[in-house]
Chains A and B, each alone.
Chain A
Amino acid sequence: MRTIVPVIIAFLSGFVMVISFFFNPDRAFIGRIESEVLVWVTIVGGFTLLLGVVSITRVNWHAVQSKKEGWVYNLLTLLSIFVMAIPAILPSSWSPLLGRATGSIYDWLFFHVDYTMMATMFAMLAFYIASAAYRAFRARNPEATLLLITATLVMLWRIPMGEAFLRLFSDNLPWLFSDNLPDKINTYIMSGANVAVQRGILIGAALGAASMSLRIMLGIERTYMGKG
């Protein structure tokens, strides 16, 4: 019973979408079912986000209670959750500081703390890429050599200074590089080889995703349900 009922629900919920695709939504009754099911899915989907919040709260609460090493940091996380969540839930009619609109604590904390940190966290990658460029990217085999040569060409093409440098080649040696070398990079590398490979990978990935979806719908693939 613990797996049959969910499998049937997964199949029905998916089958409605597959069938309604082949019917005119306004003419067939299936269209009305599909639209209602989609609304329900957006509602249930919202709760999965709250699931993550509850598990973070629980993990940090245990860490604080058991005074694990560095539990002060966990306490900080707990405080941050409530400082952000509580004012947002209270009705904004009581005071402009509540709710989610501009000028609320929620909005202020998001833009000036959360937003800043997230933008900075990924900014560090520029440093990592530079050091990896020097210390790790080696033309160690023919494939990596071709990759690095194309990468250098595309990097040059992507910046104004580099483009001017490339145009030097095509202006002075037109018989070798024909007229506009930078345009050639866009046409033959980006819209030629790149499109071909991205398309091949897209088709492969789409077949993989469709295969996984078919197995989930028919209950063959159930790992997402977890053990027990």
Chain B
Amino acid sequence: MNGLAQFTALNRLSLDLTTGLQAVYSAVPEILKHLKIRFLLTTALAVVLDYQLVDAATSDSLFRVDRINALVTVVLFSIAILLYTKWAKQGKSLFVRKIAGLDAVEEAVGRATEMGRPVLFIPGIQEIDEIETIAGISILGRVAKITAQYDTPLVVPVRYPMVLAAGQEVVEQAYVEMGRRDSYNKDIVRFVAGEQFAFAATVNGMMMRDRPAANIYMGAFFAESLLLAETGNAAGSIQIAGTARPEQLPFFIAACDYTLMGEELYAASAYLSREPIMLGGLKGQDLMKVIIVALIIIGVILMTLGSGELYRSLFEAV
């Protein structure tokens, strides 16, 4: 079988899988879908089992038979992501639980309103093309809606021109939506400084002067996160942080009142913005997590019973 025939065979295989799955999906409500998916997966594994047993000596064959486990994973993963993205675009109601961190943000802004002191929001210190900055900007939109409603002063220092533009757009839209176009002014979102530590030093100055009631850090942060959180603590503000960078999370947890960790930041912005691409991705990944947990538990049970080696070998990277 030359390369071309192999390619069309592969193509037909993935098409059959997609149409088959599609038929199943449309007929079953969402919870049942997870069970259905697990049933389908065990049949797929049966297919894999006899491929995996094919002697690796045929590795000089055109097609890397020993990598069939990766093929099944990639095809299954792609179907899950694409189907959920399609439904999200069709406006289907896809449930995402409310992230506890968002309640903490609303509470903090509420407290700032009571005390009549400003809210300081930093959408991370990275460029606009970073996913964390995009997530930070969508959470800024939510905060701006609340500050618009209660006329609480809002300060948003940023480090890059493109983030400035995106921030101003989101804040203005929030004020217009809450019918408070008059109380919106252009320098709520302001460009502070380019260099990392100069940015932190300037924002620290603002914190000690304006003494904001709430500091909210949502986005990508690096070593200067320590400086910000520490000064905010000294200025007596409630502090809520959210970042996906693992090395900064321990410091934010120890120095802030509430912290959104890693994927929670993306889930919070998907929850708020309901943006189809982000929502589809999140739901697809959630489905994969269910499958992964199920497969792990099956593996642990088989291994404890002493007959799990063959099953476990399906997950080796070759």
Contact = CB atoms under 8 A, between A and B. Distances in A.
Given A122-B223, A204-B263, A208-B266, A136 B233 contact: yes
Contacts of B224: 128
A208 B263 contact: yes
A124 B197 CA distance: 10
A21 B7 CA distance: 13
A208 B288 CA distance: 11
A137 B254 contact: yes
Given A132-B230, A201-B262, A204-B263, A23 B3 contact: yes
B255 A132 contact: yes
A223 B70 CA distance: 28
Contact of B60 (A24, A125, A136, A211): A24
A23 B64 contact: yes
Given A147-B254, A201-B262, A223-B134, A208 B64 contact: no
Contacts of B131: 212
Contacts of A122: 223
A214 B233 contact: no
Contacts of B6: 23, 28
B251 interface: yes
Contacts of A144: 253-254
Contacts of B3: 23, 28-30
A131 B230 contact: yes
Given A128-B230, A211-B285, A27 B60 contact: yes
B101 to A, nearest CB: 13
Nearest to A226: B129
Given A21-B70, A28-B62, A215-B277, A129 B226 contact: yes
A136 B81 CA distance: 41
A53 to B, nearest CB: 16
B227 A128 contact: yes
B29 interface: no
B262 A205 contact: yes
Given A136-B230, A221-B277, A223-B134, 13 more contacts: A22-B10, A23-B63, A27-B62, A128-B226, A135-B233, A136-B255, A137-B254, A137-B255, A201-B246, A203-B292, A208-B281, A214-B77, A218-B82
Given A22-B67, A207-B289, A140 B257 contact: yes
B229 A132 contact: yes
A135 B254 CA distance: 11
Interface string A60-77: 000000000000000000
Contacts of A29: 3
A204 B282 CA distance: 10
Contacts of B230: 128, 131-132, 135-136
A210 B246 CA distance: 19
Interface residues of B, number: 48
Contacts of B10: 22
A86 interface: no
Contacts of B266: 208
Contacts of A141: 257
Decide if the interface of chain B is mainly helix, strand, loop or mixed: helix
Interface of A: 18-19, 21-24, 27-30, 121-122, 124-125, 128-129, 131-132, 135-138, 140-141, 143-144, 147-148, 151, 201, 203-205, 207-208, 210-212, 214-215, 218, 220-221, 223-224
Nearest to A145: B254
Nearest to A124: B197
Given A204-B289, A205-B262, A223-B129, A132 B67 contact: no
Interface in B172-195: none
A24 B59 contact: yes
Contacts of B223: 122, 125, 128
A208 B278 CA distance: 10
A211 to B, nearest CB: 4
Interface string B234-272: 100000000000100011011101000011001000000
Nearest to B239: A136
B74 interface: yes
A203 B291 CA distance: 12
Contact of B288 (A27, A128, A205, A207): A207
B78 interface: yes
Contacts of A129: 226
Contact of A151 (B81, B134, B227, B250): B250
B138 interface: no
